[in-house]
């Protein structure tokens, strides 16, 4: 079975052109499945039947995993058996019984409002070289709405600070796309490239945009840990929100949709392209958290709000008496002296 696993991983990289990360994750999930088979005493992949697959699926679904993890674990096994069957390694495909769970359209959590994102962006010390790097990363995450992994995979050649855009290469759906960011972020990226990046490299050469404190290419996991240590605690103490690097993406999409809500039909396809969603349905999720237009519509049209506003417009008796006195005094002051 190890032989088939290795062949499949090579197939993913060389034929399907998947990322090394995806191939490594697939290898991990297949190893987990193979461990299940070994416990059952099954050493030959041809001896796996549909009952074995159903049993493994039940185990995965009962585990305390996130729904995404369950989806990945089962879809990898499904695709593995499809490969084995398509290439003649097995006669029948027991993986056809796998029922991959669907994930509901969950509303993103811990969206920051404008006050919160402004505060968070004040935490890095932009006069410090490491702080300048962090400030650029945060602004780029928020402005472009890229996935954190996409930001840390950026190379120098992918960035065009003059046009305020970057090329995201081989993202989640394996399609390159161009993303845009604002001019303010562009100005700080220029400063980072000229001042902070050479200092971080310490004479080393790299094509990556963001560099770690030790001079090596900055990885998503290491910066996430740095973010948690230096900024997350302060943010949570002030606003009591659990903020992660991915929160910038959710916040950006929500704010963008809030601003363009009156033209939602026109704006959504552009947000979809910026986010790199294959389906517009994934982007529509953010309409459920873009609540400012809904709040304004509620205040303007809900009958209870209309009656409350009308009540506030009715002057009290004291206000009427006070107004009469002011009017009388005003008329007296304008009468000509006799």
Please name which of 104, 157, 59, 53 lies closest in space to residue 285, comparing C-alpha atoms. 104
Kindly state whether residues 61 and 35 are assigned to the same domain.
yes
CATH of the domain at 169: 1.10.443.10
| Contact (CB, 8 A) for 34 and 43 | no
Kindly state whether residues 121 and 223 are assigned to the same domain.
yes
Q: How far apart are CA 105 and CA 280, in angstroms?
A: 12
Give 184's strand partners: none
Range of the domain at 49: 2-97
pLDDT at 268: 65
Q: How far apart are CA 99 and CA 265, in angstroms?
A: 34
pLDDT at 291: 47
Q: How far apart are CA 37 and CA 43, in angstroms?
A: 7
b/e for 242-263, b at 16 or more Cβ within 10 A?
A: ebebebbbbbbbbbbbbebbee
| Contact (CB, 8 A) for 148 and 154 | no
Kindly state whether residues 129 and 230 are assigned to the same domain.
yes
Give 165's strand partners: 160, 180
Kindly state whether residues 68 and 32 are assigned to the same domain.
yes
In this predicted model, what pLDDT tens digit does every residue of 223-279 receive, in sequence order? Answer: 989 898 888 888 888 888 888 888 898 888 888 777 654 445 556 667 677 777 665
Q: What are the φ and ψ backbone dihedral angles of 271, each rounded to 5 degrees? A: -65, -40
Q: How confident is the model at residue 338 (pLDDT cuts 50, 70, 90)?
A: very low
Which tokens sit at 78? Answer: 């499904």
Write down which residue in 42, 70, 97 finishes a domain.
97
Kindly state whether residues 53 and 172 are assigned to the same domain.
no
Kindly state whether residues 222 and 249 are assigned to the same domain.
yes
pLDDT at 75: 92
Ranking 38-47, 75-84, 174-183, 250-259 by mean pLDDT, the lowest is 250-259
335 in any annotated domain: no
Strand order in the sheet with 165-168: 159-160, 165-168, 177-180
Kindly state whether residues 84 and 206 are assigned to the same domain.
no
Compute the Cα dihedral for 218, 124, 181, 279 and give only its sign.
positive
Which tokens sit at 283? Answer: 């982007």
Kindly state whether residues 121 and 208 are assigned to the same domain.
yes
Please name which of 185, 164, 149 lies closest in space to residue 276, comparing C-alpha atoms. 149
In this predicted model, what pLDDT tens digit does every residue of 175-198 receive, in sequence order? Answer: 788 888 989 999 999 999 999 999
217 in any annotated domain: yes
Q: How far apart are CA 279 and CA 175, in angstroms?
A: 13
Kindly state whether residues 79 and 128 are assigned to the same domain.
no
Q: How far apart are CA 338 and CA 326, in angstroms?
A: 22
Q: How far apart are CA 308 and CA 296, in angstroms?
A: 15
pLDDT at 325 over 70: no
Which residue would you say has higher pLDDT here, 279 or 6?
A: 6
pLDDT at 84: 93
């Amino acid at each position: 079975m190890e032989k088939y696993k290795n062949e499949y991983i090579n197939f993913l990289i060389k034929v399907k052109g998947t990322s090394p990360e995806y191939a490594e994750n697939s290898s991990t999930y297949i190893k987990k499945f193979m461990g299940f088979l070994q416990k059952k005493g099954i050493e030959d992949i041809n001896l796996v039947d549909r009952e074995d697959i159903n049993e493994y699926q039940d185990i995965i679904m009962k585990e305390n995993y996130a729904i995404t993890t369950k989806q990945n674990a089962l879809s990898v096994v499904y695709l593995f058996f499809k490969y084995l069957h398509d290439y003649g390694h097995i006669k029948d495909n027991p993986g056809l019984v796998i029922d991959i769970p669907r994930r509901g359209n969950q509303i993103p959590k811990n969206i920051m409002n404008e006050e919160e994102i402004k505060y968070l962006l004040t935490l890095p010390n932009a006069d410090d070289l490491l702080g300048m790097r962090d400030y650029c990363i945060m602004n780029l995450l928020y402005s472009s709405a890229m996935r954190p992994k996409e930001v840390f995979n950026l190379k120098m050649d992918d960035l065009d600070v003059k046009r305020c855009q970057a090329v995201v290469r081989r993202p989640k759906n394996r399609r390159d796309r161009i993303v845009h960011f604002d001019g303010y972020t562009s100005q700080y990226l220029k400063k980072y490239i000229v001042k902070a990046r050479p200092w971080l490299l310490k004479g080393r050469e790299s094509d990556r945009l963001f560099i770690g404190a030790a001079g090596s290419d900055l990885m998503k996991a290491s910066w996430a840990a740095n973010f948690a240590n230096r900024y997350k605690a302060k943010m949570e103490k002030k606003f009591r929100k659990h903020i992660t690097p991915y929160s910038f993406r959710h916040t950006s999409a929500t704010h963008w949709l809030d601003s363009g809500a009156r033209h939602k039909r026109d704006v959504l396809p552009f947000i979809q392209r910026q986010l790199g969603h294959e389906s517009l349905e994934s982007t529509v999720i953010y309409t459920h958290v873009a609540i400012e237009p809904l709040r304004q519509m509620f205040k303007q049209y809900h009958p209870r709000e209309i009656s409350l506003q009308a009540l506030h417009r009715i002057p009290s008796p004291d206000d009427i008496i006070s107004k009469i006195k002011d009017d009388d005094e005003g008329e007296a002051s304008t009468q000509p002296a006799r």
